[in-house]
Structure 1
Amino acid sequence: MGDPAAQALCAALRDRDWRAARDVLVTVTDPDDQAFCMYAAGRVPDVQEWIGEWADAEPRSTLPLLVRGTHAVHWAWQARGSASASRTREEQFREFHRRLTFAENLLDEVAGRDADDTTARAFLVTAARGRQVGRDEAHRRFAEVVARHPWHRLAHAQMLQYRCAKWFGSDEEMFDFARTAAAKAPAASGLAHLVASAHLEIWLRLRSGEDNRYLQQAEVRAEVRAAADHSVRHPQHGRYAGWPTPHNMFAMAFAVGGDHAAAAEQFRTIGDQVTELPWAYAGNPVRVFRKWRGKVTDSVA
C-alpha cells in the first residue's frame, strides 16, 4: 500500500537480512504502524525457515519473536487455504492448528515480556478465530489491546470478523460493534469504515441480485455516507500506514450501492492503490476494481 517502512521491512525479510529488518522496526514506534508492518511482512515467503537465527542472535529482544509470531499467524492460514471448511482436508486443519499454536506461544511470550506491547496482542485477536477460542477469551484479548491503544485499527478489524455471523457472532453483534466503534472513535482513526465493512459482510452472504439491492437501500446508503463523513471524508482523516483499506471499503460499498458520485471521489483518492479486500469478495480484486472504477467513471462523466 505504498508504506515505506513496510516495504523496507519486507525487502529485508526477503533478503533474509535480520539486521536490516531490526533496523527498520526500531524506528516504527506507533502501534498501528507496527501492526501494519507485521501484517505486510506476513506475506513474505519462507521467513519461518531462517528467522530463528535472529532469535538466537538476540535472545533478550522481543522483536524476532514478534516477527516470527505474527508471520506464523499468516503462515497458519496458508496451510488451511481459503476453501470452506467442508472442502478443507483434515491434514490441512491439523497443520493449521499446529502453526497457529506455535504462533500463539510466541505472541504470548512477547506479551509476557513486554507489558506495553500491542502488536502481539492484536495478532492474538486474529488467532482467536482460527483457534476457535470462547467469546470471553476473545473479548479478553481484544480488551488487552484497546487498554493500551484504544483505537487500534487491526484489532478492531479482526474483532469485527470474530463477531460476524460466519464466525462466532451474529449480524446484530457485528453491527453493534461497528456502530459503537464508529460513534466513539476519532475521525482520524478511520474506524468508521467498520460500518461499511459490516454492510459488505451482509452483501457477501446474499444471493446474486439480492446482494446489490441490499446495498442500494436508502437507509444503507445513508449509513455508509455518514460513516464516510466520520472517516475517509473527514478533514482529520489523513494518510497513515494502511490508509488505502478504508477508502477501498467505501469505494466498493458506494459503487455497488449505486452512490456513484461518492464512489468516484474514493476512486480518485485511491488512484491505483487497490487492496485485496473487499474486491476479492467478487473475484480477482484488480479486475473487479477496474470494472467498478470504469463503470463509476462513465456514470459521472
Structure 2
Amino acid sequence: MWPFRRTPVIDPACGDLRARALLAALGARDRQTVREIFVTAAGPDDHACLMEVAADAAGVQDWIGEWVAAEPGATLPLLLQGCHGVSWAWEARGARYAQFTRAQQFQEFFRRLEFAEECLYEVVARDPGEVTAWTWLTLSARGRQVGPEEAEARFAEVTRRVPDHLVAHEQRLQYLCGKWFGSHQQMFAFAREATARAPHGSLLPELLVVAHLEYWLSLPGGEDDAYLISGPVRADVVTAAEHSVLHPAFVPRFGWPPRLNTFAMALTATGEYARAARVFDLIGDRVTDWPWCYRPVLGSPARAFAAARRQAQRHR
C-alpha cells in the first residue's frame, strides 16, 4: 500500500529475490546456482517466467557455450542457450519496423535465430515434453517467418500438454497480430477465446487487453486514444480485469509484474481509475518497461507509470 516512491526505478528482477538471484548467478557464470533456481520452478509457467528473466540477461552468449560443452548430456544449458539466443537475435534486429532495419541487422538476426532454433529443436528431440523449448519456438516463429500451419503446430505442442500456458499464449497472440502474420480479427478471436475459458484469477485475460493495445498502436494519431476510451473497449478491459487480477481468486505468482502493469495502463487509459488504483496497489513500485514504453512521459516509461498511478489515485 501507499506511500510508494514518487518515480520508481525499473528493476530487471521486478523486486523478486529469486529473479535477482538468477541474474546474479548468470552474471557470475555460476552454473550450479542457475540449475538450483530452475529446479525451484513450481510448474511450466513458473519455469517459463524464470526463463524470460534468463533469456534477457546480458552477456550469457559469451559463456553459455562452455556450459553446453562441459555437460553435453544436460538439457538445461542447451535450453538456456536456445532461449537466450532468441532474445540475442532480436537484439541484433532492433525493435524498429522492418523498413527501418538495415540489411546487416537482418543478416545477423537470422544467423542468431537459426542457431537458437537448432538448440531448441535439439532439446525437444531429447525431451518432446519440454514446453519451455516449444514456447520459445512459438516466439521464434515470427522471426523465422514460418507459415501459419507450422506456427500453430509449435503452439499446439505446448497447449496439448499445458492448455493455459501464459507465455506461450502471449507469443501466439503476437504471431496473430496484423503487424506480423495474422489480422486484427484473428488476434481478437484468439484473445477472446482464451479469456472466455480462463479460470477465475488467471492471467490469461491479459491477452484481451494486449489485443486492444496492439490495435490502438496500429491507429493513426487522433483515432488511437479515442479508441481506448470507447465504450466497447472499456467494457472489454473491465471484463478482463474482473476475470483476472481483480477477481478474489487471483494470487500473484512469479512473473506477474509486467502483466499487472498491462492491466494498470489499460484501465487508466480507458478511464477506469478506481479499478486501475486497485491494480496499482497490487503492483507497488514494480514498474516494468513494457507496456509503459508505448506511452512514455518525457521519454521515460517509469515516469509514465508514476503519472498514471497519480491520476488513478486522484480519481479512485
TM-score, with structure 2 as normaliser = 0.92
Per-residue CA deviations over 1:58-110 (Å, capped at 9, x if unaligned) read 21110000111101110000000112211111010000000000100000011
1:26 positional shift: 2.3
Provide the secondary structure at the position in 1 that maps to 2:289.
coil
**Distance in 1 between residues matched to 2:242 and 2:189, nearest whole Å:** 19
Provide the secondary structure at the position in 2 that maps to 1:281.
coil
Instruction: Point out where structure 2 has 5 or more consecutive residues left out of the alignment.
Output: 1-13
**Distance in 2 between residues matched to 1:3 and 1:72, nearest whole Å:** 24
Whether the 8 Å CA contact 2:78–2:120 is kept in 1: the answer is yes
Q: 1:251 aligned to 2:267?
A: no
Pick the aligned partner of 1:76 from 89, 101, 106. 89
Whether the 8 Å CA contact 2:22–2:37 is kept in 1: the answer is yes
Whether the 8 Å CA contact 2:41–2:47 is kept in 1: the answer is yes
Q: 1:285 aligned to 2:269?
A: no
1:56 positional shift: 1.9
**Distance in 2 between residues matched to 1:246 and 1:239, nearest whole Å:** 10
Aligned AA (2:308): W
TM-score, with structure 1 as normaliser = 0.96
Aligned equivalent of 1:192: 205
Pick the aligned partner of 2:282 from 250, 263, 269. 269
Q: 1:102 aligned to 2:115?
A: yes
Give the root-mean-square deviation of aligned CA atoms: 1.3
1:120 positional shift: 0.5
Aligned AA (1:248): N
Tell me: higher relative CO, structure 1 or 2? Use CA pairs within 8 A at least 6 residues apart.
2
Whether the 8 Å CA contact 1:213–1:257 is kept in 2: the answer is no
Aligned equivalent of 1:5: 18
More displaced 10-residue stretch of structure 1: 101-110 or 243-252: 243-252
Q: 1:147 aligned to 2:147?
A: no
Whether the 8 Å CA contact 2:202–2:243 is kept in 1: the answer is no
Aligned equivalent of 1:39: 52
Q: 1:90 aligned to 2:103?
A: yes
Pick the aligned partner of 2:228 from 192, 197, 215. 215
**Distance in 2 between residues matched to 1:276 and 1:138, nearest whole Å:** 27
**Distance in 2 between residues matched to 1:77 and 1:226, nearest whole Å:** 33
Whether the 8 Å CA contact 2:202–2:245 is kept in 1: the answer is no
Aligned AA (2:310): G
Whether the 8 Å CA contact 2:26–2:60 is kept in 1: the answer is yes
Provide the secondary structure at the position in 1 that maps to 2:84.
helix
Identity %: 51
Whether the 8 Å CA contact 1:6–1:36 is kept in 2: the answer is no
1:205 positional shift: 1.6
**Distance in 2 between residues matched to 1:259 and 1:188, nearest whole Å:** 19
Provide the secondary structure at the position in 1 that maps to 2:293.
helix
**Distance in 2 between residues matched to 1:169 and 1:254, nearest whole Å:** 26
Aligned equivalent of 1:55: 68
1:49 positional shift: 1.2
1:180 positional shift: 0.2
Q: 1:231 aligned to 2:231?
A: no
